[in-house]
Structure 1
């Protein structure tokens, strides 16, 4: 059963299983069409440094790129940045870099900026950026190595080397922000927009 009332399925410009699952659990059947953009080149050419601005830039770029291919569909683009002060994190390339990221985050509070953009006909029709603050508990080297052993290859698939919906939850002592923002899709503002556009049954 779907609550989606658009003439054609909603498109998600992402391969993220977490984002697809969030929408599916909300009763929205989506078609995932990853955006073919060079994220780092897009970021560098824009010359942006604020984490929220970067997340929004990439969410907009993804939505527009797929919307140009599918102009008659509503397309959702999303992106997330992790910042510790002025330092921006990328996905770790392997176990050693994952350990280095965890050492940097341990005992400190970092910020997740999650942006969502909706495009239709190649134009942006909605944007929103949400913030979550995440405090990692102090970690010993033994704890970091044990976590990396348990989490395995999954640590390289997420910025900060953790997935809060999985074993990563053990790393934290405090979280400020909603679950959807942390998973990379500000769902409540997105649903509010889709309702305002008469695209949802509820």
Structure 2
């Protein structure tokens, strides 16, 4: 039996990752105010969220927002990726200057890319499941020159992605190696999604239609 999937993300990379695995999800972008969601959580906890907690919080918020506004007979998946580097949390850089400064810090070093995955079973015959899994991958960056950094930032790509880099795009030459799931660095771990589906009795091939 085919199972429909709603992807609660505007990320072209996540959509491409699913399509490469034979899945054509329905894309519904949430209206979650990310800074506000983080601020509310930190006020409630009385402490600053760790990087992995930020990824998990935003993945859940996006998934819940889309699921609440949808009447689709489907599974809803929300994801969010954030880079942990030297004790700091890096989402998308605010501008080119910030992207250059980040790369000047990151070059020749490593960080951990955390992706939160949240799944809600919103099917008509739902299991009622709503749960999440965090995946983390260590990324080792090449030792770029200032000229290489400026040229990469000038492409505009670093401004559109968490951590100011990609592994599957123009940033690929600047990632020396990774420790963990390659798909997770792109923004959605296919092995993690498979395990989440198994928890509710769905096989990955059912998403392929």
Fold in common (TM above 0.5): yes
Q: How does 1:1-202 map to 2 (within 5 A)?
A: 5-6=2-3, 9-47=4-42, 48-71=48-71, 72-121=73-122, 125-149=130-154, 152-200=155-203, 202=205
Q: Number of paired residues? A: 195
CA distance in 2 between counterparts of 1:201 and 1:98 reads: 37
Unaligned runs of 5+ in 1: none
Contact 2:135 2:192 in 1 (8 A): no
Q: What do the CA deviations read for 1:88-144 (whole angstroms, capped 9, x no partner)?
A: 113123322211111111121111111101113496523111111111122221222
CA distance in 1 between counterparts of 2:100 and 2:132 reads: 34
Alpha-carbon offset, residue 76 of structure 1: 0.3
Contact 1:80 1:113 in 2 (8 A): yes
CA distance in 2 between counterparts of 1:127 and 1:118 reads: 6
Alpha-carbon offset, residue 160 of structure 1: 2.6
Give the alignment's TM-score, normalised by structure 2: 0.85
C-alpha RMSD of matched pairs (Å): 2.0
> Partner of 1:167: helix, strand, or coil?
coil
Q: What do the CA deviations read for 1:64-97 (whole angstroms, capped 9, x no partner)?
A: 1111112543100000111112211131233222
Unaligned runs of 5+ in 2: 43-47
Moved more, 109-118 or 138-147: 138-147
Moved more, 186-195 or 41-50: 186-195
Contact 1:162 1:168 in 2 (8 A): yes
> Partner of 2:23: helix, strand, or coil?
coil
> Partner of 2:171: helix, strand, or coil?
helix
